[in-house]
Structure formats: C-alpha cells, structure tokens
Amino acid sequence: MRGRILQQWCMFLVLLLMADFAITTTLFEPFNVTYDHRSLIIAGHRRMLISAGIHYPRSTPQMWPDLIGKAKEGGVDVIETYTFWNGHEPVRGQYHFEGRYDLVKFVKLVGSSGLYLFLRIGPYVCAEWNFGGFPVWLRDIPGIEFRTDNEPFKEEMQRFVTKIVNLMREEMLFSWQGGPIILLQIENEYGDVENSYGKKGQNYINWAANMALGLGAGVPWVMCKQTDAPELIIDTCNGYYCDGFKPNSNKKPIFWTENWDGWYTTWGGRLPHRPVQDLAFAVARFFQRGGSLQNYYMYFGGTNFGRTAGGPFYITSYDYDAPIDEYGLLSQPKWGHLRDLHAAIRLCEPALVAVDSPHYIKLGPMQEAHVYHKRGNGRRSRLSDSGDENRCSAFLANIDQHNAASVHFQGHTYKLPPWSVSILPDCQNVAYNTAKVGAQTSIKELESDAPNVSNKSVSQKLLRHDGSSYVSERWMTVDEPLGIWSDHNFTVQGILEHLNVTKDSSDYLWYFIRIYVSGEDASFWKEDGVHPALSIDSMRDVVHIFVNGQLAGSGVGRWVEVTQPVKLLEGYNDVALLSQTVGLQNYGAFLEKDGGGFRGQIKLTGLKSGDMDLSNLSWTYQVGLKGEMQEIYTLDGNEKAAWVDLATDGIKSPLSWYKTYFDAPDGLDPVALDLSSMGKGQAWINGHHIGRYWTLSSPQDGCQKPCDYRGKYDSGKCTTNCGKPTQVRYHVPRSWLQETNNLLVVFEETGGNPVEISLTAHYTQLICAGISESHYPPLSRWVNHGSVDEQILINDTTPEMHLHCEDGHVINIVFASYGTPKGRCQEYSKGSCHAPKSSDVVSKLCQGRQTCSIRVSNAEFGVDPCRGVVKTLAVEAKCISSWVAGFSSV
C-alpha cells in the first residue's frame, strides 16, 4: 500500500517538474491584439472567446497545472484573474510574488498550456476579498480618499499598476512579446459607486484610463460596468445576463467580463446554486445576439485561505458553484454541459466572425432566430479565416419560461424547450440545446443513515459513520489569556476604532476596563430585582463580552446595537471586550472610512443613579491573541506554549487552543477537515492557515427542491442546505501535508469538541447519467469536410453516454436500464420497457474503467425492447478506489 502511495507521489512530482519545464520553454510566437466593433482581433483574425475565471491565490501552485488543464479540456480559450494588491504589497514598498502569489509562474503556466490570459489589475477588485484587495496600510496615508480624484490615492494606485505592468513586460508575458496576455483591466465596477463621488468621480475615471494607456502595455484595456468609459477603453458588462448589453461606442466589441455562474456565501446563509441549463442559456444568448468574449466568474472559485475572505461574514469556501469545485474536481453536470456548449460555439465561430451582425428572424411571440451567414461573393473577410464566406450558423431561442414551442426555420420544424437556445452550426442540424443536459451528474457527498457516534468513547471514534476518520484520539490544549496578556498594550481615554489599532494584523482586539460597583448599587440590584447591562450603541462584526473572567455573552452583526445583561460584584469588576473583524468590507464607496469595533457610546445601565457612560473613561488596548503572536500554530512556534493533555470533561471552554498530530490520508484525493464539532475560530495545518471556521446554521426555510431552471436567476433562487451549518468542511491542500506527523492547531472562541474533528477524502462517489436515443450526438462527431467552402458534416447521429471518475478511481456499475427507466439519480428503477442485457452491456464497456462511452441505440443493446417508443439509457455507478478495485479482482 505504502509503495503504491509513494509511486503516486512520484508521478505527482514528475508532473510538477514537467509543468516547471514547460513554463520556461513554451509560450507563443509574438502576436498583436487589437479590436474592432465585432471582437478582439488576435494575430489579424477576429475571435470568439470563452474565458475562465481562476484566482491564483485561492489555490496552491501545485494545483495550478491541473486547474488550467481542466479549463482547457472544458473548451476554454482564456484564463482570467485579478491581481491582489494586499497580497503582493502587504507592507508599503515590500513586494511579495511567491507561493500562492507567484503571479508570473501562474501566467507562464497559462501560456504554456496554449491559453490566453486576461489580467484584471484593478487594483480594486471587490472579489469578496478582504478590503476589496486594498492593503490596509493605504487608509493610513494622510489625506487619502480611495477611488476618487485624490492625489495621495492616485499616486499609490499608479505605483502598483505600473509595478504589475512592468513586471509582465520584464517577464515577456504580453502577446507582442510571445506571452499569453491579450487583455487588461483598470478599475472595477466603478460605475456602481461613481455618483457617490460627483464630478471627482468622472475626473478619476478619466485619469485612470489615461494612466493605464500611458503604460505602453501594448494590448487593449477594459473597464467593467463603466458606461462612461473613455474612447480608447472598452466598457464591458457584468451580471447574470448580458445578451442585451451594448458598449458606449459602436467602435467597441461586446464583452462580458463577469458571468456570475453561482454566488458567494455568508456565514449562516444558504448555499446558492445556478442551474447549468440557465447558465448555458445565458451564454448562448450572449453569442447569439452579437457578443464575442464571455468570462465565467468563477470557473474555479477556490478557497479564502487565512484571513483573505472579505465581507463582512464571507465564508472560507469560495466554491461559487463553479464548473470546477473548491477542491479542484469537476462539478458535473455543469462542467460537461458547458464543455459541449463551448464546442458548439466553436463550430459556429467561422460564421460568427465573418459578418458584422446577424440576420434577425422572428419565429413566434417569444421565439426568435439570429442567423450568421455570409454568402460567397468572391471576397474573403480580412479579419476571419479563409474559406468562411459560405458558412452559415444559427441560434434559435425560446425565451418563454413556461412553454415549449415548435418553430419553422428554413423549411424545417424545430422543437424548443422553454427558456432554451438551440445551436445549428450548419443552419440545419441541431448540435446543442441549452436545456437538454447529456453530461453526467457527479455526487461527492452521500447522506448516511448511520447512527450518531458522539456518545462513544474516544478510542471508539477513530472511524466515523460517513467513512471519514477522526484526526486523533490524543489532543493537547492551552488557554488563551483573557484581556491584557503582554507589555505591548496601551491605555488611552475613549473608544478607539478597531482597524486604527490593529492595522488588520489580527482579527482580534481587546478593550479592557475596570469598573467599580458601590455597595449601594449592589443592594439596589438585589432588593429591586434589577439586572445591570452593558449597552453598546453600534458594533461590528463580533464581540465577546467577558466579566470577571467569565463569558457573559456575544454580539454579532454589522453596526448593530448590543445590550448584554451582566453579573457584577460589589467592588472592582474587570470587563474585557474581545472585538473582532470577520473579513473587511470589500464593496461600496468610501471604503477607507469603513472600520470595525464600536461606534457611539458604551454604557453600563441599571445603576441606581442612572446609566454610567464608559465611552470617555480610560481603556486599555491589546492587539491580537497571545497564541497568535507567539505563532504557536507553526512547527517551530508551537513549543512556546505550555500545552497540557486535553481532558474530555474540559472541552467546552471558550478561547482555547488545541493541537494534535495526524498522518495524511492515503492516496492523492483532495482532503477536507470536518470541523462540525467546533464553534467558531481559526485552524492551521503545519503552519498553513486553513482559514476561519464558524458552525453557524442557515435558516430552516427558503430552499427550493427540486429547482426549476426556467426564468431569470438570482442568488435567492435554487438555494440548498437549509437548517444546516453553512460550512463544516475546509479544504486542506495536499501540498500542505506530509506523509506522517502533521501538526493541526485550532483556536476555538466559543467552545467546541476537538476530539470529533475528522479528515475525509473529497472525491466523486457516485455518478449518474440519462440519455435518450433522440439526444444529440457528441460534438466531437461534427467535423469540417475540408473542402474550399469548409462545410460542416456529421455522418453518425447516434447519441452517446460518457461516464468518468476522477483520477485514482474506477467505475462500478450499480444500475443500468435501456428502455423506459423511472426516477432520477439515486432513485432509478426499471420501467415497463427494459432491455434484458442492459447491465451486461454497460458493465462490459465500463466496469473497472476510469472513463467509458456507451452508444445509446438498439444495436448496442441487441434488441428494441419497445418498438415505437423513444428509449432512454439510465446508468448509476459508484466511483471506487482503483487500488480497491484491483485488489478485489485478484
């Protein structure tokens, strides 16, 4: 077993070495990029481009080659990313371009894969990223106002943008140098806030455009959601739908810089999902109506490692319901259905680039066609490939969200499902319909009916009912001091703003005060049954209130009032407020004015003589936690703490550190840390900051099951996970693990049970697919004839089912029926019509393989089980370890 694992790791390292070699040896021949009103013009040719958003810091460099490869396999032409100012310049003038922030390596990997790169410098990025990408030191520059006609801000912004452009030029990464960068972005969604700044906003946007153009990058620049973008900057669309968007000049092409294929999530929120049928509909409509570049935000979302999540209150996972999930695995059917869409659009590209605009045909009250057809006239387009003058492609749309429609087009009848687009690469045969999904469904987490094991002893808990394993049976702990813990504190009169003190070096800031309670007040409370309370006018994001060393209560919210009853003793009482931020504001105007901590008055109410205003008294401040500053979560620093063995009867105390050691799970599957037994805090493995965790549950209601893809999407539609914690599993990159003796350190704020923390492999466990014999054939069957007029031909129209398990896993057939099967994934059953050899045929083609294909036809199954009826093939299979499969076959 260990030998096989070592062999897998060796293969993994070889792939990484090959990737490193590739990025130093293979990019592009130099080419120019310009644009006209129709599209980008790359090396003299118009292009229709599919772009995939992948933010390099939200994964590890070891993951990048696989992510880029899966994007390319999915039919993508371009990788898009922001740059992250606060990651690259955490201290003013000190730059960081290593590890997850190795932008140059990421761009070279994209180029070595043969893909282009769209670099959105910003430097404001939003992105649900801490402080919108701005470094917090920026707010301390005297006289600064962000994102307006303000000299201190413009000076800092220009310095960083120039740094990035010069770095890309020095590394030969622009297209005209043989690199992959074809497009740049300055600013980001400024149109949403521009009115807040008045005339200075317009002045700023003109300055930003001129500054960017003056850097001589040699490729086009864009501004998204900027209707007043200057002449030489392309204004672009962001949103769920952009098929009706028009730029502010007929000299500019139609670009969609953010197609929101999911949405972000907050602690205590439901999980959003965007149906792939609607997403595909939006993309097809965009190209149907004249669009030429579309970017998925996100194609891979990844993870907000450390304290990079914005907010407030954005969770550590940034999965975004993207085609590639947070761990780097394919999300099916989203990835597969979009791959087919991209292939269909690619077949249409010669026709799409050959004409300036489509021919519009109204097919019905809510049905329409857009035809791209340039008839041969002896002249070829200077900006499109030769031989395209006889190409014809069409898009047929039914925008009725309730009813299917039959339409007549060029002498043929076509059936269009509700809210769908059919793509006809040759203006005759349908290659793809957005509502008809042929890709498999992949399920990565299966519900278990096994009983809860929380009442078992520690030694019995090393295996959980869901197949994951408890991290360890031996834990150690150390308490975090309450209040002031070092000489590095200070005392001032009044309440200070949180960020002005911490500079975001930590989420945590202690506010400490000692209050004297007279005997008169103590008697008053006892005799009259009055209870004193601590009242805070306004607070964000979280405060834990401790009185005399005991947790009295907590407050959560964004600038909310907090009133907490407290138990005070006669004499002196210590009151310690642990204020914390949970991600800095990342969106909106005047970000430099948004802070944390407390606003208004802090009072003690319920006194006999009236309220006591504590706001103007002397407070002592302590930044951060002792364990945090000692770095007891690192391999070297953890020995600085006085760890003791954890007693099982003492595992509910707040503000506690826990540590243990564990071995990495076997294999190469992505790894998740299950923290469902904990409350709120942060976690580290081998010194790497996994991120914040918080076992906060979503509302019981508001989820839709099943979800109806039809009609316009918004983030409240098709949510899941009602009544459950928003996030319990946290991504642990494999590259952060060693084979044995991994250090796990957890800081728990409110009280939890570390003994029940578990590790689980994240992989596709179950796959399902259902395809009828009337489905479209694979897009790979469509081929160019090769003649002068390059007509598209398809000779074999037999549909095909494709099944796939992740690397290291093979297919184990659970159910197969060709005929009229009933039910859906995980609920399939045979119908009244069933080919007897269904299971045998499918098993022969698929059992024990990682990938297989089955032709959906009577010939494949040796019988027509019910004549005159359209048959469907339904298959359900488990993905099992290839090692287990090999062992069981011996």
Give the model confidence (pLDDT) of 295-311 as tens digits.
999 999 999 999 999 99
Give the model confidence (pLDDT) of 736-781 as tens digits.
999 999 999 999 999 899 999 999 999 999 999 999 999 999 999 8
Q: 411: number of CA atoms within 13 Å, CB side?
A: 3
The pTM (predicted TM-score) of the whole model is 0.93
- Tokens standing for residue 773: 């014999």
| pLDDT score recorded for residue 426 | 95
| pLDDT score recorded for residue 20 | 52
Q: What is the gyration radius of the CA atoms in the chain, in angstroms? A: 30
| pLDDT score recorded for residue 647 | 87
Q: 345: number of CA atoms within 13 Å, CB side?
A: 30
Give the model confidence (pLDDT) of 353-408 as tens digits.
999 999 999 999 999 999 999 865 433 444 555 444 568 999 999 999 999 999 99
Q: How would you label 2-37 residue by residue, b for 16+ Cβ within 10 Å and e otherwise?
A: eeebeebeeeeeeeeeebbebbeeebbeebebebee
Furthest C-alpha separation in the chain: 103
Range with the poorest average pLDDT among 128-142, 253-267, 515-529: 515-529
- Tokens standing for residue 497: 């703003």
> Mean pLDDT over all residues of the chain?
92
Question: Pick from 624, 628, 651: which is nearest to 641 by CA?
Answer: 628
Label residue 147 exposed, middle or buried (CB < 10 Å: 0-12, 13-18, 19+): buried
| pLDDT score recorded for residue 386 | 42
| pLDDT score recorded for residue 391 | 85
Query: From the CB of residue 365, how many other CB atoms can be counted at a distance below 10 Å?
Result: 9
Among 53-67, 462-476, 634-648, name the most confident range.
53-67
With cut-offs at 50, 70 and 90, classify the pLDDT of residue 886. low
| Packing angle of the helix pair 2-25, 103-112 (nearest 10 deg) | 90
Give the model confidence (pLDDT) of 545-567 as tens digits.
999 999 999 999 999 999 999 99
| pLDDT score recorded for residue 678 | 96
| pLDDT score recorded for residue 879 | 96
Active-site residue list: 189, 258
Q: Is the pLDDT of residue 447 over 60?
A: no
With cut-offs at 50, 70 and 90, classify the pLDDT of residue 828. very high
**In what helix (H) or strand (E) does residue 367 lie, and over which residues does it extend?**
strand 367-373
With cut-offs at 50, 70 and 90, classify the pLDDT of residue 467. low
| pLDDT score recorded for residue 448 | 38
Give the model confidence (pLDDT) of 668-688 as tens digits.
899 999 999 999 999 999 999
DSSP structure string for 756-809 = G-EEEE----EEEEEEETTSPPPGGG-EE--STT--EE------EEEEE--TTE
Range with the poorest average pLDDT among 119-133, 176-190, 211-225, 771-785: 771-785
Q: Is the pLDDT of residue 54 over 70?
A: yes
Residue where the block lists tokens 């599957």? 669
| pLDDT score recorded for residue 859 | 96
- Tokens standing for residue 635: 């391999």
Which amino acid would we find at residue 807?
A: D
Please indicate whether residue 11 or residue 217 has the higher confidence score (pLDDT): 217
| CA distance readout (Å), 122 to 187, 308, 645 | 4, 17, 49
| pLDDT score recorded for residue 114 | 97
**In what helix (H) or strand (E) does residue 501 lie, and over which residues does it extend?**
helix 498-502
Give the model confidence (pLDDT) of 201-253 as tens digits.
999 999 999 999 999 999 999 999 999 999 999 999 999 999 999 999 999 99
> Does residue 765 contact residue 878 with C-beta atoms inside 8 Å?
yes
Q: Is the pLDDT of residue 4 over 70?
A: no
Which amino acid would we find at residue 176?
A: W
